[in-house]
Amino acid sequence: MPVKKLKPITPGQRFKIVNGFDTITTDKPEKSLLAPIKKSGGRNNQGKMTMRYRGGGHKKRYRIIDFKRNKSDMPATVKSIEYDPNRTAFIALIQYKDGEKAYIIAPSGLKVGQTVQSGNKAAADIGNALPLSNIPFGSIISCIELVPGKGAVMVRSAGTFAQLTAKEGKYVTIKLPSGETRLILSDCKAMVGAVSNSDHQLLIGGKAGRSRWLGRRPRTRPVVMNPVDHPMGGGEGRASGGHPRSRKGVPAKGFKTRSLTKSSNKHILERKNK
């Protein structure tokens, strides 16, 4: 799917690169699958700001996504490919044989009119969700469960994919987009194919206002703060700021924050690439 570089008829369009939206087939979502979103602006229930640099943004409605795909062995037809303001990937509206509609994360290459299915009897075709034990070696997969029946939690953002590399006993070995290799229970479901909208990483906003539309407020660099506000602040003139670290002093580069006693450590065979 191509991206568009606009002619610089205004300063904000000089470096702007936008999505072509060639695969999108409709701009009207399914009303029965919408839910309201209440914005917090980074405030908690006492009205105190607990998360900085958030606020504003365009009003959005949540699209209810079926991450569980638990309607087994019933074929569904793809009705439309749609834009979702709440995620980087595109979503697909499917309608099951009994008339029920649902949204799923759209894999790359899915077209309107195609049939998708989930369950043990499903073929390993693009858009189908089936247990990892039924997926062939070397397959490109996405939307992976970590706990059987709990729903997909990994590999859901635009253009990402994982690869199934081995099967042993009740576990399968998955190579994740981060480069990490880990074991996952073979009963967990995954969708065949990579996630759609792989060109998302090429987009450039072009102006500060585009970040404001997304609900992001201007961010103050730690280096220009005072020492009372941040460990990297202070100094005479243009000081470099010292070692990169967070506001609470946790080092930002190369410091391992993962717990050494975490129960899932034994499932990680190879750490992610540095």
Q: What is the pLDDT of residue 254?
A: 87
| 13 assigned to some structural domain | yes
Per mean pLDDT, which range of 19-23, 34-38, 153-157 is the poorest?
19-23
For residues 159 and 262, state if they share a domain: no
Q: What is the mean pLDDT of residues 155-161?
A: 97
Q: Which two tokens stand for residue 19?
A: 């999505």
CA dist., res. 115 & res. 261, Å (int): 44
Q: Are 156 and 142 in contact (CB under 8 A)?
A: yes
Domain that holds residue 123: 3-201
Q: Check whether residue 122 and residue 191 sit in a common domain.
A: yes
Average pLDDT rounded to a whole number, residues 221-236: 94
Question: What band does 240 get if pLDDT is binned at 50, 70 and 90?
Answer: confident
Q: Are residues 55 and 161 in the same domain?
A: yes
- Which residues on adjacent β-strands are paired with residue 62? 35
Residue from 162, 167, 107, 181 nearest 137 by CA: 167
Residues 149 and 195 placed together within one structural domain of the fold: yes
Q: Is 70 helix (H, G, I), strand (E, B) or coil?
A: coil
Does residue 200 contact residue 17 with C-beta atoms inside 8 Å? no
pLDDT at 68 over 80: yes
Q: 274: closest CA among 258, 254, 257?
A: 254
Q: How many domains does the chain have?
A: 2
> Looking at the predicted structure, is the pLDDT value of residue 65 above 90?
yes
Last residue of a domain, one of 173, 201, 229: 201
Residues 11, 116 within the same domain = yes
Clarify whether residues 261 and 197 are in a common domain: no
Residue 2 confidence class, pLDDT cut points 50, 70, 90: confident
For residue 231, what is the domain's CATH number?
A: 4.10.950.10
In a domain, 206, yes or no: no
131-157 pLDDT per residue, tens: 999 999 999 999 999 999 999 999 999
215 belongs to a structural domain: no
Residue 262 has pLDDT above 80, yes or no: yes
Q: What pLDDT shows up at residue 190?
A: 97
User: Do residues 45 and 164 both lie within one domain?
Assistant: yes
Question: Around 134, how many Cα atoms within 13 Å sit in the side-chain half-sphere?
Answer: 18
In the chain, the percentage of residues whose pLDDT exceeds 90 is 93
pLDDT at 198: 94
Is residue 184 within 8 A of residue 166, CB to CB? The reply is no
pLDDT at site 274 = 56
> E-assigned strands of the chain?
3-5, 17-19, 34-36, 61-63, 76-82, 91-96, 101-105, 115-116, 129-131, 140-142, 144-145, 152-154, 162-168, 171-175, 181-185, 189-192, 268-270
**Mean pLDDT throughout 36-50?**
96
